[in-house]
Amino acid sequence: MSEQAIAITSVGMVTGVGLNAPASCAAIRSAIDNVQETRFMDNEGEWLMASEVPLAEPLRGRSKLIKIAALAVAECLADNSGVDSSEIPMFLCLSEQDRAGRVIDDNNQFFLDLQTELELEFHEESRVIAMGHVATAIALKHARELIAELKLPHALIVASDSFLTAASLAHYEKYARLLTSYHSNGFIPGEAGAAILVSPVTQAKQLVCTGLGFAIEKATVDSEEPLRAEGLTSAIKMALEDAKCTEAELDFRVTDLSGEQYYFKEASLAVGRIIRVRKEEFELWHPADCVGDVGAALALVMLIYLAAACENGYSEGNTILAHTANDDGKRAALILSWGLAGVDHGK
């Protein structure tokens, strides 16, 4: 286990299938989705399908992203009322700066407006990480470094994202990336806000991030190069090394796969190159089936659902591989453990 392992100690989540983490996790476990017709049409004149967060207020765009992020943070911090937010760095995960249809034009102002919505101020080491799917892994890296260096008790990782804008949907339909009435090899767009509080490991029954790995894939989804999954393979190897773990110890995996064949092929190739021992089963979980592709929030959705599965006894094991991928080639892998050996159960 990495000496800088950190534990997920509190969560909050708002998705198209639930306005809090327990409701969302229960829906995902039951394979329930909230995919409905949107107000947008595809090129064949059929309504596009998406997973939209059903807020009571008719908010859209930037205002909705702030609201769902604030709801997730409020849930996450609800049981930590004694914590001083000024002592907690917040890592705000957003979509890539150049993603089509992005409604946030100023990342720093979005951060400030979120603080205003929450009526809280966070630690001066807080920062925005506009890196899409891999942003959560990058935030975890920064969080564990700050916790170790500054002896901080907590760090907060927050994400808010949505593909439900006309420009986003038009772009991804144009490049045959969306699931539509005439195209099956695509993703269902969604939106979500999510938050986790991470802290030093203090007890055995916590979901702990023990390893992180990063790499770049040259054969991106838009390139014509042959896909060999070299980037994802490298990221997984780095995460295993960081966690001081072998592939034989992995029980199952949770990923950001959301329907596109390219990413399923990449995941299959990477695992084939990593796993050198016989496994009767190596389950693959992909919560995007229920909530849609929620962009920068998807990795947090994965971790929150995984924490719920471990806490409630329906996970497929105690050592888990998680991995995420961006369209621009950035890859991230995480090793997570539940019930760490060597941690005092009496604490």
Q: What does the domain layout of the chain look like in residue ranges?
A: 6-200, 207-338
Superfamily of domain 207-338: Thiolase/Chalcone synthase (3.40.47.10)
pLDDT digits (tens, 9 = 90+) for 288-314: 999 999 999 999 999 999 999 999 999
Which pLDDT does position 339 carry in this prediction? 79
6-200 matches 207-338 in fold: yes
Q: How far apart are CA 95 and CA 77, in angstroms?
A: 23
Superfamily of domain 6-200: Thiolase/Chalcone synthase (3.40.47.10)
| Structure-block tokens of residue 318 | 């105690």
Which pLDDT does position 341 carry in this prediction? 44
pLDDT digits (tens, 9 = 90+) for 32-49: 999 999 999 999 999 999
User: Quick one: average pLDDT of 116-142?
Assistant: 97
Which pLDDT does position 143 carry in this prediction? 97
Residue 13 clears pLDDT 60, i.e. is over it: yes
pLDDT digits (tens, 9 = 90+) for 63-113: 999 999 999 999 999 987 778 899 999 999 999 999 999 999 999 999 999
Q: Nearest 5°: phi and psi at 175? A: -100, 20
For residue 342, what pLDDT band results from cuts at 50, 70 and 90?
very low
**What is the average pLDDT value for the chain, to the nearest integer?**
94
Is there a contact between 94 and 135 (Cβ–Cβ < 8 Å)?
Answer: yes
Residue 344 clears pLDDT 50, i.e. is over it: no
Which pLDDT does position 346 carry in this prediction? 36
Q: Reading across the β-sheet that carries 127-130, which strands appear in turn?
A: 127-130, 90-94, 155-162, 191-200, 6-14, 207-216, 330-338, 319-325, 252-255, 284-285
Q: Nearest 5°: phi and psi at 331? A: -130, 145
Check: pTM over 0.85? Answer yes or no: yes
Which pLDDT does position 340 carry in this prediction? 64
Q: How far apart are CA 263 and CA 241, in angstroms?
A: 24
Residue 26 DSSP SS3: helix
Which pLDDT does position 202 carry in this prediction? 86
Q: How far apart are CA 211 and CA 245, in angstroms?
A: 9
User: Quick one: average pLDDT of 157-186?
Assistant: 95
For residue 116, what pLDDT band results from cuts at 50, 70 and 90?
very high
Number of H helices, E strands in the chain: 9, 12
User: Quick one: average pLDDT of 55-67?
Assistant: 94
